[in-house]
Amino acid sequence: MRSLRELLSATNAVRLVGVYDGLSANLADQMGAQALWASGLCISASKALPDSEVVTYETLVRRLEDIQRGSRLPLLADVNAGFGDWNVFGHVIALMEKRGVDGIAVEDKAFPRHNSFDEGSGQRLEEPEAFAAKVEHAVRARSGDMMLVARTEGFIAGESLERVRARAHLYCDAGADAVIVHSKSREPGEVLAFARAWRRPNPVIVIPTTYPQLSFKVAADAGIGGVICANQLLRASMQAVEDCAARLVTADTIGGLEDSLAPLSSLLDLVGAFEGPPAVRRDG
């Protein structure tokens, strides 16, 4: 299996499938995914909590353990804004390394951060130099080969291409292994312009949530190393559960649902049925 670093360095727009628990990770693995993204939004939503630094890093670590139980694919974890200052972030790095996470992505939002598409909360970014210092401290705190990915929200906050590139340059100079360039545009023009103008060896990663029409071939041709499919699995599950729940509370029988459900045997095969303790050997 290729490492996360190898996959992203190939600049072939590798797809990182967004997961949020062990089951979603297992299913993505079975369907042939190459790498996984542990989505902060999806993990928060799965706990019925907002994506605004409410989920603690201890909770995130436990959920990452579930994801790793479901799959051994390379995993890039969303650690939001690092859960605090660089001292806290350094502790988070140690926890991630201890659990063998392949990479973490930290964004240059001011703490506490809010979801990038939350229009009502405003989008406050850290000063580029301050965030670069945070990245530098994180690199020093790292003891192994775990990737440190710096995510810039410059486009989300309305900054120009030149300003966003300057941020990314600073972060890479501070030691970031790769950059995520996020955008809420309905077209991929911003991120493609960034990628085509990028001259550093550090891979560029994008998250086409608001511009899903972006072709993976076009992304690869522009030099993009990774494309995060961030929340599609959760949104698909949400729609399916909503449809099923509506039928469960109105139908005269649940029998009519079976054709639209995964077989129970498939679920048991996936998670493994409990077979009880091993037999006790008795000699004589």
Domains of the chain, CATH where assigned: 4-230 (3.20.20.60), 238-271 (no CATH)
Cα separation, 283 vs 188, whole angstroms:
71
In the residue annotation, 51 being an active-site residue is answered as: yes
What average pLDDT does range 220-242 have in this prediction?
97
Q: Which two tokens stand for residue 74?
A: 């390379």
Q: Does 277 score more than 60 pLDDT?
A: no
pLDDT band at 193 (very low <50, low <70, confident <90, very high): very high
- Tens-place pLDDT, residues 232-263: 999 999 999 999 999 999 999 999 899 999 99
Residue 147 reports pLDDT greater than 70: yes
CA nearest 149: which of 131, 166, 162? 131
Predicted confidence at residue 116, as pLDDT, reads: 87
Q: Are strands 14-19 and 178-181 parallel, antiparallel or unpaired?
A: unpaired
Q: CB atoms < 10 A from the CB of 158, how many? A: 9
Residue 218: how many other CB atoms lie within 10 Å: 14
Say how far apart CA 129 and CA 169 lie, in whole Å.
11
> With pLDDT > 70 as the criterion, what percentage of the chain qualifies?
94
d(CA 205, CA 233): 19
- What's the confidence (pLDDT) of residue 120? 52
Active-site hit among 21, 51, 66, 102: 51
